[in-house]
Chains A and B, each alone.
Chain A
Amino acid sequence: QLVESGGGVVQPGRSLRLSCAASGFTFSSYAMHWVRQAPGKGLEWVALISHDGSNKYYAESVKGRFTISRDTSKNTLYLQMNSLRPDDTAVYYCARVRLFYYGMDLWGQGTTVTISS
């Protein structure tokens, strides 16, 4: 399973780090995504990291502000979010994928991030 944590209410311009703890499968064999969903809106892809952490991809909307990383020893995925803006308010999901062009076959329950002064 995947369990996200770290969400909360923060002021614009501040930082937040999300975590996604993986269990029940070989974490190091899967690439991992972060996907977010603003209130009442559709899914928006945020970032992707390869199974070994060597390749990282970002949506234009977060490039330069967010950093995806993983710690295989802890079976945990991270999303460091800096310079947060009100439009970053969303539920953030982590999801696994066998290969980049495969579907996301396991999702976490999500963690809510609210950016507000």
Chain B
Amino acid sequence: SYELTQPLSVSVALGQTARITCGGNNIGTKGVHWYQQKPGQAPVLVIYRNSNRPSGIPERFSGSNSGNTATLTINRAQAGDEADYYCQVWDSSTVFGGGTKLTVL
């Protein structure tokens, strides 16, 4: 079965740029979605199909996907961006990455 690999944690200074990666075999050929989950809340879709932002998601959130790595980029990180982030693909079944805890310092 297809596997997605994310770093357990990423730290970023307030106002700087955070990058969260999602690795998978030829993931660049797939559509990658990203979810943000804050403690005690349901996940929220922040990027769909690699680089598209749903309505209501700030422009500070962007995504890219090439080769074996997809990346979620958060510009001008804010305290409110602290959360767990999950990547997900459809590969004849649905697969989630293990999740990355983003800490804003």
> Among the listed B43, B48, B49, which residue makes an inter-chain contact with A93, where contact means beta carbons less than 8 Å apart?
B43
Per-residue 0/1 for B14-52: is the Cβ within 8 Å of any A Cβ (1 yes, 0 no)? Answer: 000000000000000001010101000011110111000
A105 x B48 contact (CB < 8 A): yes
Per-residue 0/1 for B72-101: is the Cβ within 8 Å of any A Cβ (1 yes, 0 no)? Answer: 000000000000101010101111111100
A42 x B98 contact (CB < 8 A): yes
In the A-B complex, list the 7 residue pairs whose CB atoms are closest, starting with the nearest. A103-B48, A103-B33, A45-B94, A42-B99, A107-B42, A101-B90, A43-B96
B86 x A43 contact (CB < 8 A): yes
Chain A residues numbered 40-68 whose CB sits less than 8 Å from any CB in chain B: 42-45, 48, 57, 59-60
B94 x A48 contact (CB < 8 A): yes
**CB of B54 within 8 A of chain A?**
yes
Place the interface of chain A in its size category. 20 to 34
Name the prevailing secondary structure of the B interface residues. strand
Q: In the complex where A33-B94, A42-B96, A43-B96 touch, is A102 in contact with B42 (Cβ < 8 A)? A: no
Q: How far is the CA of A107 from the CA of B31 in the complex (A)?
A: 20
B93 x A57 contact (CB < 8 A): yes
Distance in Å: Cβ of B40 to nearest Cβ of chain A? 10
Q: List 10 A-B contacts (CB under 8 A).
A: A42-B98, A43-B37, A43-B43, A43-B96, A45-B96, A101-B49, A102-B33, A103-B47, A104-B35, A104-B43
